[in-house]
Amino acid sequence: MRKTLYFKFILAYLLFGLFGFIVVATLVNNLLVEHCRQDKADKLYTEATLIANTYATDLYNSEVSLASVQRQLTALSAYLDSQIWILNPSGRLVVSSSEDVNTEAETYVDGFNPLITTGKNYAEGDFFQSFTEPHISVIAPITSDFKIKGYVTIHSPSSLITEEASSLLNISYLTLFMILLLSLIILIFFTEIVYIPLRKITAATEQYAAGNMHYRFNVDSDDEIGYLGATLSYMADEIARAEDDQKKFVANVSHDFRSPLTSIHGFLEAMLDGTIPAEQHDKYLKIVLQETDRLTNLTNSLLTLNNLNTNGIYLSLTDFDINEVVRGVAQSFEQVCRFRNISLSLVLLGEALYVNADLEKIQQVLYNLVDNAIKFSPQGGVVTIETEEKKNKVFVSVKDNGIGIPKEDQKLIWDRFYKTDLSRGKDKKGTGLGLSIVREIIRSHDENINLVSTEGVGSDFTFTLKRSELNDQFD
């Protein structure tokens, strides 16, 4: 494809030159010959009319001598590069610019007919067999007393016209050559601006097609081609990143599945071969049960995340009371809180605070955030859930005074499977998927979630929701 494009452009250039040459050689040539012929004829006719009205009339009125008229015509004919004759209506040569007319032996132009120039103002040919070479001839009548006394005829060889036309044609060829030379600039521009960048882009696409997404190239221009190059490299970067993510994801999933499976396998094997005595089976079966719970948890989270990631989440938006949802979620953690001696404090704005969102998904967000807050709080800690209203937004925050999240981890905790080093000891069951799910849900609502956390002090996750107009009706 690459060679063809350049080849096509060169071919177009050569065709342009060839057609230019053909046009100049045929059409322009004909036009020039025709133009020179007409121009010459016009000039000769003007001269002939002038002579007819001056010297020739004077001659017929016997005001000047034949010899003097002939001298004048000889001078003029040299200037016009042609022969000038004065003929009687019958065709007898009265005066000729080229030779003295012999009055004894009269010379006739046989078959002379002044009408041969009708239609045009000239005739081309041998002028009634007077010349061997083709000539252009013009005829102007000499009138006196309203009668035609004779004719002035001027004859110029056609070869002179062809010569003039061919010298003009040479100028046309030179012009064409200059145009072709100048249009080489277009070829150079095309090579620099289109062809070379396009080759780079094509080479890059070949590399990408072969799977080498890390191939780098540079198209340094700020036009459409530069934009195409930049977009292509951006696309390759994104694909490369997605591929890396995919690999990391599979590695993480495999790892997270393998450890509970290994422990289940180990315990069951030990029970079967008697390494674990029958009286301890209950204890280890409970651990096995816990591990299967963890696997179920992991599978459910993965499925949720997968559903959220598939093109555009379907949101079932309704107006609901977020305070009610907070109370419900808090209730479901009552048991755990009591067990861990953690108090749940609800600071809710008003009795009811309506938002417009997907109820089930927001429930899940709250559940994940409260679950984390409790998991990472010390015995006797306090988890506060707060609702607030600012402009058209409702702010929901989940705050704890637990282990906190180090600064360098705060960006990373939203990634799938990410767990901070601080938390690993505290939470063995965690999948590292909870916050990814939270972020996807909040994003799909076109809302934001923000984290303020200090290591050793606590964390505060705050997300926004769209305030419902229902609030105004109840105010």
Q: Are 201 and 235 in contact (CB under 8 A)?
A: no
- CB closer to ligand ADP out of 74 and 436: 436
Please count the CA atoms within 13 angstroms of the CA of 474 that sit on its side-chain side: 11
CB of 264 to ligand ADP, least distance (A): 20
Asked if 464 interacts with ligand ADP (CB under 6 A), we say: no
Q: Are 330 and 344 in contact (CB under 8 A)?
A: yes
Q: Cα–Cα distance between 376 and 424 in angstroms, integer?
A: 10
Asked if 156 interacts with ligand ADP (CB under 6 A), we say: no
Asked if 459 interacts with ligand ADP (CB under 6 A), we say: yes
How far, in Å, are 37, 201, 233, 245 from residue 215 at the CA level? Answer: 69, 11, 9, 18
Tell me phi and psi for residue 418, to 5 degrees.
Answer: -80, 130
Which residue of 47, 291, 358, 400 would you call a contact of ligand ADP, by CB under 6 A? 400
Which residue of 204, 403, 441, 449 would you call a contact of ligand ADP, by CB under 6 A? 403
What token pair was written down for 424?
A: 């690993």
Asked if 440 interacts with ligand ADP (CB under 6 A), we say: no
Asked if 233 interacts with ligand ADP (CB under 6 A), we say: no
Q: Are 142 and 114 in contact (CB under 8 A)?
A: no
Asked if 402 interacts with ligand ADP (CB under 6 A), we say: yes
Q: Cα–Cα distance between 445 and 314 in angstroms, integer?
A: 10
Asked if 373 interacts with ligand ADP (CB under 6 A), we say: yes
Query: Scanning residues 407 to 426, which ones bind ligand ADP (CB under 6 A)?
Result: 413, 418-420, 423
- CB closer to ligand ADP out of 205 and 384: 384
The residue range among 22-30, 79-87, 229-237, 430-438 that interacts with ligand ADP, by the rule CB under 6 A, is: 430-438
Give the H or E element holding residue 147. strand 147-157
Calculated CA dihedral for residues 417, 422, 424, 427, nearest 10 degrees: -100
CB of 246 to ligand ADP, least distance (A): 19
Tell me phi and psi for residue 458, to 5 degrees.
Answer: 145, 180
Side chain identity at 410, as an amino acid letter? Q
- CB closer to ligand ADP out of 121 and 252: 252
Strands (E), 191-278: none
Which residue of 93, 435, 442, 449 would you call a contact of ligand ADP, by CB under 6 A? 435
Q: Cα–Cα distance between 74 and 100 in angstroms, integer?
A: 10
Place of tokens 């559903």: 307
Q: Cα–Cα distance between 304 and 364 in angstroms, integer?
A: 10
CB of 410 to ligand ADP, least distance (A): 9
Count residues contacting ligand ADP (CB under 6 A)?
Answer: 23
CB of 460 to ligand ADP, least distance (A): 9
- CB closer to ligand ADP out of 229 and 404: 404
CB of 431 to ligand ADP, least distance (A): 5
How far, in Å, are 241, 249, 422 from residue 245 at the CA level? Answer: 6, 6, 24
- CB closer to ligand ADP out of 212 and 296: 296
Cα-trace Rg, the chain:
53
Please count the CA atoms within 13 angstroms of the CA of 171 that sit on its side-chain side: 6
Asked if 372 interacts with ligand ADP (CB under 6 A), we say: yes
Q: Cα–Cα distance between 339 and 332 in angstroms, integer?
A: 13
Asked if 441 interacts with ligand ADP (CB under 6 A), we say: no
Asked if 431 interacts with ligand ADP (CB under 6 A), we say: yes
CB of 420 to ligand ADP, least distance (A): 3
- CB closer to ligand ADP out of 321 and 460: 460
CB of 434 to ligand ADP, least distance (A): 3
String marking each residue 376-395 x if it binds ligand ADP according to CB under 6 A: x-------------------
DSSP calls for 121-144: S-EEESTTTT-SS-EEEEEEEEEE
- CB closer to ligand ADP out of 77 and 372: 372
Asked if 405 interacts with ligand ADP (CB under 6 A), we say: yes
The counts of H helices and E strands in the chain are 14, 12
- CB closer to ligand ADP out of 326 and 405: 405
- CB closer to ligand ADP out of 149 and 439: 439
Tell me phi and psi for residue 203, to 5 degrees.
Answer: -60, -40
Q: Which residues make up the interface to ligand ADP (CB under 6 A)? A: 368, 372-373, 376, 400, 402-405, 413, 418-420, 423, 427, 430-436, 459
